[in-house]
Amino acid sequence: MRNWRKHVGVIKAAAEIRAGGVIAYPTEAVWGLGCDPLDVDAVEKILSLKRRPVEKGLIMVAGSVAQFGPLVEALPADLKAKLEASWPGHTTWLVPHGGLVPAWISGQFDTVALRVSNHPLVQALCDLVGGPIVSTSANPQGRPPARSALHARRYFTDQVLYAPGQVGGQDQPSKIYDLVSGKTIRA
């Protein structure tokens, strides 16, 4: 198994995020666009590239549950256990954010979309960045998600830095559930 934490391309991608840049990177099913979720300029660049309104919110992905810190620690034990039973994995949960994330991440919602990835490259990237990153499909709104680096480059050419690697074995983007209600948002 490859050690992505030592791969020069992943190290460069993490440095790009820490420097306020935007990257394209492989996830479990599709290529994603990522940046530091606390960097409003980087998030605005992603929203502009995707032509996505800020009100829709964005997913944050982490390499471990611990990287979400207070967002998960403050949850009741039963809800925290529900998250931990599905992570790392291909499941995104809408979690009450209690004002702990900026509006450019949560959009118009009182929840934030969180996922702990089981993709080794994503885990390494988040570890090198030191926390979660934005994870939104690499495509302009209304277009099919990129399933390869070449496909992502067709959409965004040289406007982002491209991490190495390939998507994992999933056919579709992650399923999304509301943590409190249990409602399926995206199957």
Render pLDDT for 105-124 as a digit per residue (tens, 0 to 9).
999 999 999 999 999 999 99
Give CA–CA dist 167/99, Å, rounded.
33
Confidence of residue 1 (pLDDT cuts 50, 70, 90): low
User: What does the pLDDT average to over 10-15?
Assistant: 98
pLDDT at 127: 97
Closest by alpha carbon to 105, among 43, 161, 149?
43
Quick check: 43 pLDDT over 90?
yes
pTM: 0.96
In this structure, what token pair is assigned to residue 156?
């965004």
pLDDT at 41: 98
- What are the structural domains of the chain? 4-186 (3.90.870.10)
Give CA–CA dist 134/44, Å, rounded.
12
User: What does the pLDDT average to over 29-39?
Assistant: 98
- The 8-class DSSP code of residue 99 comes to T
User: What does the pLDDT average to over 47-61?
Assistant: 97
Confidence of residue 91 (pLDDT cuts 50, 70, 90): very high
> What separation in angstroms does the CA of 107 have from each of 58, 59, 68, 76, 161?
7, 10, 18, 24, 25
